[in-house]
Amino acid sequence: MFTIFRYTFMVNAFIAGVIISVLCSFISFFIVSRKISFIGVGISHSAFGGLAIGIFFGIY
């Protein structure tokens, strides 16, 4: 199960995923407590822009 972590890019991806999940949990608390749910929609739509830029530059 842990043999996948022999690859450096998988370790980097795992660390990035953990950092992003912690940051998103803090951000979502403030979004819900202040009742500004449209910011969540804006954040999710910004991912589409990042995806398009990645495909355009061939980073996939």
Tens of pLDDT along 40-59? 788 788 888 888 999 999 88
pLDDT at position 11 is: 94
3-state per-residue secondary structure call for the chain: CHHHHHCHHHHHHHHHHHHHHHHHHHHHHHHHHCCCCHHHHHHHHHHHHHHHHHHHCCCC
For residue 37, pLDDT beyond 80: no
pLDDT at position 24 is: 85
Give percent of the chain with pLDDT exceeding 90. 37
For residue 31, pLDDT beyond 90: no
Return d(Cα 44, Cα 32) in angstroms, integer: 15
For residue 19, pLDDT beyond 80: yes
